[in-house]
Structure 1
Amino acid sequence: MKFTQRIIEVDGHRVGVLEAGPEAAPRVILAHCSLAFAGLWRIVMTQLAERWRCVSIDMPGHGVSDRGDRALSLQLQAVAYVEGVAAATGSGSAHLVGLSLGGAVMGRVAVKRPDLTWSLTLIEPVYFHLLSAPGGEEDEENARAMAPVYRACADGRFHDGARAFMEAWGQPGQFDRMPEAARDAVARALSFLVEDFDMVSGWPEGQIDGDALSTIRAPVLLMQGERTQASAKAILDVIQTRLPEAERAEIAGAGHLSPVDDPTAVAARLSAFFERIERA
């Protein structure tokens, strides 16, 4: 399978893109989780790219992508990157797939750009605010998991914070197995996420809510890992109350990062979903 890496400029910012598959085929646009990069989807793309043109995007401040406009939350900057990359790689709608942070981004894209959304797959999007009423307390499980991350970052120890983040979200020991350059890149990405917490946690102005999600008319697949955190499943439960027609899938044996834990199973589930939509 041939992969192509390139830089696409969006509003003056550099955006890293990884592509595979026939140029004339229907597009699948993929967004990764926090502290990752476009290559997270490589194995999934290998299995999809016989049939679809796959376009994976480095999120702002991740991989080779610029952080972009610091006045925007990372999620909102990522929405602009997805729109720009979509315009640069083809026309018409695409299958949108997002994991964790990428899921939160793709949900926003689907609300803002129904014309761009042929289908939407949300793999455990980090919409923790949906688990509390406006003005309420942060989800307890997430707050407990993130406490070591917050403490380390408050002291400027972003490498320690990145280690704690990856352990909390299903990759214990992974940080220390990475090459030094990769650890530095992950710590840098976390520094951007820390700046972003106040803009995406709780209910700041412009926060996406259930009413906005309920406007999505494209077919939706909600995917979770069997072993993921209870709060991640609870977020999908809330979304499903707003989108009762959405399909639900669970990846056996997988944690929060199911495309990493079992990319073959994830690719098979995506393929079946896309094929059914395209036959309709």
Structure 2
Amino acid sequence: MSSALFTRRFGHGPRQALAIHCTLAHSGAWRGVGEALADDLTLLCCDLPSHGKSDDWDGQGDIHQRSTDMVRDLLTEPTDIIGHSFGATIGLRIAIENPELVRSLTMIEPVYFAAALADDPARVAAGARNSGGFDAAFDAGDRMEAARIFNTGWGDGSGWEKTPEKLRQYMADRIHYVPASQPFLRDDNAGLLQPGRFARATMPVLLIDGGASGDMVGAISTSIARRLPNVTRKAIDGAGHMAPITHPQAVSSEIRRFLATV
């Protein structure tokens, strides 16, 4: 695949920021947040490999490493990074590996299971009820069923039966991204949990959870927060995992307050 990601911008504010979407979404997922922060930020949003209008991942190498490298190539100066779910884990990785490129980091429900697994594996196991069914469907080649299970666990709560057929197919076509990203998300193949690495991310960090999200999210965020030197935690009342899409005004308000301190 080519080395460039498709990008779009929202807003016209004086501050340059970069937003990274979640698995199975695309850069347009940031429209609500970008428009709410239009006077504050010029928000550069990218489509990850195999998502939106970017080229498909060719299956070679590690998908988290590949995605991180391609996003990192978009950064030429210290930038405010905003990431959601999988995208938040890319932001975290860049903040640790290249702190000189990150002015601030906002993470919305980063799915970095490895941190919680290191601290409280029993709690993670209790929250991973969906993973067995997902694995079985994916291994059987039923990509649509795997997408349904994933969406049920990590979607916006509107229900699979209400999801338009075109969007269901979009998710099913990209569902291989989920197991392909596990070596980083669960097994920490980049070694971020090695002693001293999180301490490199000294920039201000905002960690946002949905107030209605499950225990797994809390476990992950607690594990990440206790490792970071300069972190603020906030919860969005009534929101679940897809808070940037379902509650863009509330998310934007927290980001605006946070950036005013940076």
What is the TM-score of this pair, normalised by structure 1?
0.84
Give me the whole-angstrom Cα distance separating, in 2, the residues matched to 1:218 and 1:245. Answer: 7
- Cα offsets for 1:34-79 (capped at 9, x unmatched): 1111111100000112221101111222112224463332221121
Give me the whole-angstrom Cα distance separating, in 1, the residues matched to 2:187 and 2:177. Answer: 20
Shift of 1:244: 4.7
Give 1:20's aligned amino acid: F
Give me the whole-angstrom Cα distance separating, in 2, the residues matched to 1:105 and 1:262. Answer: 22
* 1:97 partnered with 2:79: no
The percentage of counterpart residues that share the same residue type is: 27
Decide whether the 8 Å contact of 1:162 with 1:175 is kept in 2.
Answer: no
- Cα offsets for 1:71-100 (capped at 9, x unmatched): 3322211211212223xxxx4211101111
User: Which residue of 27, 30, 52 corresponds with 1:38?
Assistant: 27
Please name the residue that 1:144 is paired with. Answer: 129
* 1:270 partnered with 2:255: yes
User: Which residue of 49, 57, 61 corresponds with 2:50?
Assistant: 61
Q: Structure 1: where are the runs of 5+ without partners?
A: 1-10
Decide whether the 8 Å contact of 2:99 with 2:200 is kept in 1.
Answer: no
Distance 1:43 1:202, change over 3 A: closer
Give me the whole-angstrom Cα distance separating, in 2, the residues matched to 1:128 and 1:60. Answer: 21
Please name the residue that 2:104 is paired with. Answer: 119
Q: Helix, strand or coil: the match of 1:242?
A: coil
- Cα offsets for 1:10-53 (capped at 9, x unmatched): x833412121223x822111111111111111000001122211
Decide whether the 8 Å contact of 1:28 with 1:94 is kept in 2.
Answer: yes
Distance 1:264 1:166, change over 3 A: same
Q: Structure 2: where are the runs of 5+ without partners?
A: none
* 1:200 partnered with 2:184: yes
- Summarize the alignment of residues 222-261 of structure 1 with structure 2, pairs less than 5 Å apart: 222-261=207-246
Give me the whole-angstrom Cα distance separating, in 1, the residues matched to 2:125 and 2:207. Answer: 23
Give 2:2's aligned amino acid: G
Give me the whole-angstrom Cα distance separating, in 2, the residues matched to 1:234 and 1:95. Answer: 25
Please name the residue that 2:151 is paired with. Answer: 166
- Summarize the alignment of residues 5-44 of structure 1 with structure 2, pairs less than 5 Å apart: 12-22=2-12, 25-44=14-33
Give me the whole-angstrom Cα distance separating, in 1, the residues matched to 2:155 and 2:165. Answer: 21
Give 1:49's aligned amino acid: A
Give me the whole-angstrom Cα distance separating, in 2, the residues matched to 1:148 and 1:219. Answer: 38
RMSD: 2.3
Give 1:77's aligned amino acid: R
Give 1:13's aligned amino acid: S
Decide whether the 8 Å contact of 2:156 with 2:241 is kept in 1.
Answer: no
Please name the residue that 2:92 is paired with. Answer: 107
* Number of aligned residue pairs: 260
Q: Which moved more, 1:45-54 or 1:60-69?
A: 60-69
- Cα offsets for 1:216-252 (capped at 9, x unmatched): 0111111111111111111111122112531111111
Give me the whole-angstrom Cα distance separating, in 1, the residues matched to 2:108 and 2:235. Answer: 10
Give me the whole-angstrom Cα distance separating, in 2, the residues matched to 1:99 and 1:42. Answer: 13
Shift of 1:142: 4.2
Q: Helix, strand or coil: the match of 2:209?
A: strand
Decide whether the 8 Å contact of 2:239 with 2:247 is kept in 1.
Answer: yes
Give me the whole-angstrom Cα distance separating, in 2, the residues matched to 1:12 and 1:32. Answer: 19
Give me the whole-angstrom Cα distance separating, in 2, the residues matched to 1:261 and 1:175. Answer: 16
Q: Helix, strand or coil: the match of 2:181?
A: helix
Please name the residue that 1:7 is paired with. Answer: none
* 1:188 partnered with 2:173: yes
Distance 1:129 1:175, change over 3 A: same
Give 1:56's aligned amino acid: C
Q: Helix, strand or coil: the match of 2:67?
A: helix
Give me the whole-angstrom Cα distance separating, in 1, the residues matched to 2:230 and 2:151. Answer: 33
